[in-house]
């Protein structure tokens, strides 16, 4: 997830040229991670969230208020998703493709809040072949929701952890609560944890590199003690992540969520036995290094995800993402790898079942 840390003051929407939100939300603060006034816009729903203020860069024709990065990410979120609530309708459902497992999504950030809304969201996904989803936490409230959602619907599984940018909240009480939640039978991974070197020193409240590293080491130990998969968030921290994993001794199964690195990093992860998860970013034509890396990954070390509501695949960048959009990503990835979408769907599902310890639903 590209979400981030604690709030600070920011400009109001009435001053945000080109945001597409000012007319509807005058007076609210539009934050750099796609949150408005401390509330996350998802269609007509809002979710309370700690968030960050924007920085002007003037270098982007899509949005002149958020910091531009060459990977298409602005201020910690896909820039187009900052505008998704008002400017773009939800993508049309794709042609069904099955079997599929969305290995990393955020149902709460997509707008789900109770058993009924979780069921409706997963029903939409199931209609196009996405039979199961893993909803992932980035803070304590999200961890509690993820475990609830996984117990409300048998098609939903959970991953719980504290996001690296929030690792400065990992005191004894929060560690104890994450450990309690992670022990739930419906929790299939400890995550998302890892290292994010983009934000420290840029934004108030972000965990330092030292705090992130300590938090990552603690999560690694937790995953090993519980015998659960480790789900990693990596932003501009390739070397440091691999070093910490070597020093601590990696759990039996490690997933690099939303893999966005180059071919060299992909080869190192493959050699180490890690699993790489691909999101909608693999469909972005300007993601050259990532698109060169994707064909290198063996089928038994590859899974797929949405990271919804973020990173909506091409050609729907800017529209709200949801688990039902996963077939768009899988078809783009299959084309890149020279495989049939059905073959890739079957293989990625088998890998997801293995790494999450799920029962196969195929005959």
DSSP string over 226-243 = HT-EEEEEEES-HHHHHH
Does residue 4 form part of some domain? no
Q: CATH number of the domain that 201 lies in?
A: 3.20.20.140
Same domain, 276 and 139: yes
Tokens at 303, concatenated? 């899974």
Q: Is the pLDDT of residue 125 over 70?
A: yes
| Span 135-149, pLDDT tens digits | 999 999 999 999 999
User: What is the C-alpha to C-alpha distance for residues 273 and 253, in angstroms, rounded to an integer?
Assistant: 8
Q: What are the tens digits of pLDDT across the range 6-15?
A: 322 232 222 2
Residue 200 belongs to some domain of the structure: yes
Residue 214 neighbours by CB under 8 Å, 6+ apart = 167, 170
- Return the pLDDT at 74: 34
Q: Is residue 7 part of a domain?
A: no
Same-domain pairing of 154 and 176: yes
Q: What is the mean pLDDT of the chain?
A: 81
Q: How far apart are CA 341 and CA 259, in angstroms?
A: 19
In a domain, 6, yes or no: no
Q: Is residue 336 part of a domain?
A: yes
Q: How many domains does the chain have?
A: 2
What does the pLDDT look like over 207-232, one tens digit per residue? Answer: 999 999 999 999 999 999 999 999 99
Percentage of residues in the chain with pLDDT exceeding 70?
A: 75
Name 23's Cβ contacts closer than 8 Å, sequence gap at least 6: none
Return the pLDDT at 202: 86
Boundaries of domain holding 76: 13-87
Within 10 angstroms of residue 360's Cβ, the number of other Cβ atoms is 10
Strands in 45-48's sheet, in edge-to-edge order, are 35-36, 39-42, 45-48
């Amino acid at each position: 997830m590209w979400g981030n840390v604690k709030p600070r003051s920011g400009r109001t929407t009435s001053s945000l040229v080109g945001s597409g939100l000012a007319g509807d939300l005058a007076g609210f603060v539009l934050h750099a991670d796609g949150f408005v006034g401390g509330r996350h816009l998802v269609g007509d729903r809002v979710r309370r969230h700690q968030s960050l203020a924007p920085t002007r860069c003037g270098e982007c024709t899509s949005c002149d208020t958020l910091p531009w990065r060459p990977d298409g990410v602005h201020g910690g979120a896909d820039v187009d998703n900052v505008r998704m609530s008002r400017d773009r309708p939800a993508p049309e459902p794709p042609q069904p493709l099955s079997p599929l497992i969305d290995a990393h999504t955020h149902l709460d950030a997509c707008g789900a809040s109770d058993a009924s809304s979780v069921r409706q969201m997963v029903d939409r996904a199931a209609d196009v072949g996405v039979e199961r989803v893993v909803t992932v936490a980035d803070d304590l409230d999200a961890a509690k929701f993820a475990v609830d959602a996984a117990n409300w619907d048998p098609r939903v599984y959970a991953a719980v952890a504290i996001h690296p940018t929030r690792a400065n909240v990992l005191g004894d009480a929060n560690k104890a609560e994450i450990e309690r939640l992670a022990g739930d039978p419906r929790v299939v991974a400890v995550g998302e944890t890892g290292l994010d070197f983009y934000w420290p020193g840029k934004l108030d409240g972000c965990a330092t590199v030292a705090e992130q590293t300590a938090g990552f080491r603690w999560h690694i130990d937790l995953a090993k003690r519980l015998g659960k998969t480790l789900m990693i968030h990596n932003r501009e921290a390739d070397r440091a992540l691999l070093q910490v994993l070597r020093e601590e001794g990696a759990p039996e199964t490690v997933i690099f969520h939303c893999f966005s690195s180059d071919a060299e990093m992909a080869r190192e992860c493959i050699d180490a036995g890690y699993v790489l998860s691909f999101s909608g970013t693999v469909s972005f034509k300007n993601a050259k290094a990532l698109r060169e890396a994707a064909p290198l990954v063996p089928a038994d070390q590859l899974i797929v995800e949405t990271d919804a509501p973020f990173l909506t695949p091409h050609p729907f960048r800017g529209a709200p993402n949801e688990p039902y959009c996963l077939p768009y990503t899988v078809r783009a990835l299959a084309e890149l790898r020279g495989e049939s979408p059905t073959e890739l769907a079957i293989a990625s599902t088998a890998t997801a079942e293995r790494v999450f310890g799920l029962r196969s639903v195929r005959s």
